[in-house]
A and B are shown apart, each in its own frame.
Chain A
Amino acid sequence: EVQLVESGGGLVQPGRSLRLSCAASGFTFDDYAMHWVRQAPGKGLEWVSGISWNSGSIGYADSVKGRFTISRDNAKNSLYLQMNSLRAEDTALYYCAKSVGISIEQQPFDYWGQGTLVTVSS
């Protein structure tokens, strides 16, 4: 059974940093691209970042480019999101999602975690 379990969320002040993690199990992690998608309270889905199976291709939404860094450790079956210079508008539930293939392009997301909540507030 595919499982994606996010952790690392919490309350953080504006301008500070936070690192999210996603522990994957039930599939061969290094065979698939992975993504982070967020959802602000009461709002829709927003793609944040994606990373290919071997970290060779990485993409970011304009809203987080230069502040967030995605990475993965295939040996640990884990995905990460380093979030720096956090803003109030980064407040959201952050989902880890698995792609159906190795590329961050074109291919949909077939499994999602339950999310970890990030609240940016003073």
Chain B
Amino acid sequence: SYVLTQPPSVSVAPGQTARITCGGNNIGSKSVHWYQQKPGQAPVLVVYDDSDRPSGIPERFSGSNSGNTATLTISRVEAGDEADYYCQVWDSSSDPWVFGGGTKLTVL
């Protein structure tokens, strides 16, 4: 089955830019979705189809996808962005919906 690889953790100072990667074989040919999950809460969709934002999600959240890496970029990071972030793709294989292992974003 398809595998998505994320770094376990990313740390960034407030006001700086955080980049969270999601690696997969030729992931650039797939649509990548990103979810934010704060402690004790359900996941929230923050970016879909590589780079689109649902209504209500700040413009500070953006995404890109090319080659073997998709990236979630959070600009002007705030303390409230501290959370786990998961990438997700659909793959027409035995386990069609795949999540990355998650990345814990720490705001220093």
Question: Could you tell me which A residues sit within 8 Å of B by CB distance?
Answer: 35, 37, 44-47, 50, 59, 61-62, 95, 100, 104-106, 108-110, 112-115
Contact = CB atoms under 8 A, between A and B. Distances in A.
Given A108-B33, A112-B44, 5 more contacts: A35-B97, A44-B101, A45-B43, A108-B48, A113-B42
Contact of B90 (A62, A105, A115): A105
Interface string B75-107: 000000000101010101011111111100000
B90 A45 contact: no
Contact of B96 (A45, A59, A113, A115): A59
Contacts of B95: 47, 61-62
Contacts of A35: 97
Contacts of A61: 95, 97
A46 B31 CA distance: 18
Nearest to A100: B48
Ranked 6 nearest A-B pairs via Cβ: A47-B97, A112-B42, A108-B33, A44-B102, A108-B48, A45-B99
- Most A CB atoms within 10 A — which of B1, B33, B97? B97
Contacts of B84: 44
Which one of A35, A50, A106 has the greatest number of beta carbons of chain B within 10 Å? Answer: A106
B101 A108 contact: no
A94 B94 CA distance: 21
A6 B101 CA distance: 24
B12 interface: no
B3 interface: no
Contacts of B88: 45, 108
Indicate the member of A45, A59, A95, A108 with the most B CB atoms within 10 Å: A108
Given A35-B97, A59-B96, A45 B42 contact: no
A69 to B, nearest CB: 17
